Amino acid sequence: MKLQRKNRLRALSFGALAVSGALALTACGSDDTSGGSGGNSASAKAGNIKCDDAKGQLLGIGSSAQANAIDAWRQAYAQACSEVQLNYKPDGSGAGVTAFNQGQVAFAGSDSALKPEEVAASKKVCKGGQGINLPMVGGPIAVAFNVQGVDNLTLDAKTLAQIFDSKITKWNDPAIKKLNPDAKLPSTKIQAFHRSDESGTTDNFTKYLKTAAPSDWKYEGGKAWQAKGGQSAQGSSGLAQQVKQTDGAITYVELSYAKDGVKTVDIDTGADQPVKATSENASKAIADAKVVGTGKDLALDLNYKTQAAGAYPITLVTYEIVCDKGNKAESLAATKSFLNYTASEDGQAALADLGYAPIPAEINKKVRETVAGIS
């Protein structure tokens, strides 16, 4: 699959679609309550999926950012591997890592790689091994806004850091005016919303602020929001809903949540032109990532300070976290079969219309090689 292929963003719902019956895969507990769609492209490739000896329950918890990806994959996988029942609960990256390290699930989805202490904890569950990070879904974190009378808005890392740290409080602040000389900016109070739950999206967004604007963002970072002030909401869908209904609002969400008329900020990275939040532009940034994990771990180091033309810097990569050794025997075959499909060319191609950015092909190849060797 070409790395920089064009991805069209559809208006899609991140629904928890319940499909009953022994042949179904189910996803429960999504941020949204509306039904999802978009699995047709995946379904067309169902015949290429290798089930091997996969059967039984396959349980996962974690990132809500990949909920629509899981939905598309499961529709294809269900057709090919009817003896597997997949239950993925997108309760957030923090919940996913916790559940994995408590031995509750076969895999977890996390928008940030395991920390050293989390790897250490995983060794109690992964007998003879440890938890490893497999990059599976990429995408831009859009900065969504709702300012009456303003359709186009450009901000940079410094200004964003000051907005989310409650240092810039009005939309007609001189710093915003300087970046948007042609916009009719009102004196409306800025309503900055952040995640109330622990989130890999928060982790990646604040890594961007800390890296690209270190003088203005002094917080340590992590899955939990640390800056004072602002308002909070549960999940990406909660943040998107707040922006839609609140004049003066601004927040950060995965691009697939910026739908139904939600406007997004262009980012001034120092390149010749501000960069729009698109899947293609996120792919250009992810292409600059480096594998920093050791052994079978494939954790990536993203370049949040990129100034490459058209490279959107606020990106995330969702990892599927599994044991390299010591996986439960009853779910091992299903885990390997499902993850081998999601990392395949067909699996990644199924995401083309969902607002995600593809993981580089050479990294996907390493993921498949790693999945083949887990035990």
Rounded distance, CA 176 to CA 167, Å? 12
What's the confidence (pLDDT) of residue 296? 94
CB within 8 Å of 304: residues ≥ 6 apart: 207, 208, 211, 212, 313, 314
pLDDT value at position 46? 56
> Domain 26-138+292-301+318-373 is classified in which CATH homologous superfamily?
Periplasmic binding protein-like II (3.40.190.10)
pTM to 2 decimal places: 0.76
Q: How far apart, in whole angstroms, are the C-alpha atoms of residue 42 and residue 76?
A: 5
CA–CA distance, 212 with 290 (Å, rounded to integer): 18
Tokens of 189: 């109070």
* Contacts (Cβ under 8 Å, ≥6 apart) of 63: 90, 92, 93, 96, 109, 110, 111, 137, 200, 318
- Topology match between the domains 26-138+292-301+318-373 and 141-284: yes
Residue 355's pLDDT is 81
Could you tell me the two tokens for 109?
Answer: 């989805």
Q: Tokens standing for 21?
A: 């019956």
Tell me the chain's radius of gyration from C-alpha atoms: 20
The packing angle between helices 329-342 and 361-373, to 10°, is 160
Query: So what's the pLDDT on residue 361?
Result: 86
Residues of the chain with pLDDT under 50: 1-44
Mapped onto helix, strand or coil, the DSSP state of residue 77 is helix
Give which of 250, 267, 278, 258 is closest to 306, Cα–Cα.
Answer: 267
pLDDT digits (tens, 9 = 90+) for 38-72: 334 444 355 589 998 899 999 999 998 898 899 99
Which burial class, exposed, middle or buried, applies to 187 when counting CB atoms under 10 A from its CB (0-12, 13-18, 19+)? exposed
Instruction: Quote the pLDDT of residue 43.
Output: 41
- The one-letter code for the residue type at 162 is Q
Q: What CA–CA distance (Å, rounded) separates 119 from 36?
A: 33
* C-alpha–C-alpha distance, residues 192 and 209, integer Å: 15
Q: Given its phi and psi angles, is residue 230 left (phi above 0), alpha (psi -120 to 50 degrees) or beta?
A: left
d(CA 305, CA 40): 36
What is d(CA 313, CA 302) in angstroms, rounded to the nearest whole number? Answer: 9
205-229 pLDDT, tens digit each: 999 999 999 999 999 989 999 999 9
Q: CATH: 3.40.190.10, 3.90.550.10, 1.25.40.10, 3.40.50.720. Which one for 141-284? A: 3.40.190.10
Q: Find residue 150's DSSP bridge partners.
A: 147
Domain locations along the chain: 26-138+292-301+318-373, 141-284
